[in-house]
Amino acid sequence: MTSSDEAENIVRNDDGTLVVGVPQERHHQTENDEGASPTGADRELLQADTGLSTRLLHPGEGGYDEALAKWDVQQNPDRGPVVSTVRGRQEAMALVHAVATSPDHAVAPAVEALTDPEASGEALRHVLVGGVHSVEDFADEVAQAEGGDALPAHQTTKIIGEVLAELD
């Protein structure tokens, strides 16, 4: 596995946070740096260590939605392109609302109640692929269809991640 492959490996924690690989930054060596080139080639770009650092992303944090979508693809890399159907989207909206309004935010019973889990999962994946604005629009749709106030995008994204983890 190359370091760019490792950078794409994403781990989802039980609390919904994501651990993403971050490639080491490249830096310039200058004459003042230890081990500078005696020829004065101070503009030469050097590759940093091939080691990889990680970053912990929380729902609502910049890049979280994109990382969650990548994590989902990692779970089943052979899955075809994401396609959302009307029925899948309606069931996904009811599912997100049910989880958000349940006293213990229980995901498993809400997922078990789905009539078409595959279509619902695809609809939720479609929302994630669209990024944060898509998640915000989806949260507004849920509120209009199911009643109540729209969830903040980070809460909606966290529920989507929990549902997708349960579906897989």
Measured between alpha carbons, how far is 112 from 164 in angstroms, rounded to an integer?
13
Start-to-end CA span in the chain (Å): 24
pLDDT tens per residue across span 62-116: 888 888 888 888 888 888 777 788 999 999 999 999 999 988 888 999 999 999 9
Q: Does 84 share its domain with 151?
A: yes
Same domain? 97 vs 160: yes
- Residues 97 and 68 reside in one and the same domain: yes
Task: Let me know the angle formed at the C-alpha of 74 by 114 and 107, rounded to the nearest 5 degrees.
Answer: 30
**Residues 102 and 40 grouped into a single domain:** no
Same domain, 49 and 116: no
- Pair (141, 92) in one structural domain: yes
Domain limits for position 35: 3-57
pLDDT digits (tens, 9 = 90+) for 21-31: 877 665 555 55
**Share of the chain residues as helix, strand and coil, in percent rounded to the nearest 5:** 50, 10, 40
Asked if residue 69 and residue 19 are part of one domain, the reply reads: no
Q: What is the pLDDT of residue 69?
A: 84
Tell whether 20 and 51 lie within a shared domain.
yes
Domains in the chain: how many in total? 2
Residues 141 and 78 in one domain: yes
45 and 81 part of one domain: no
Range of lowest pLDDT (2-11, 50-59, 139-148): 2-11
Q: Do 130 and 71 belong to one domain?
A: yes
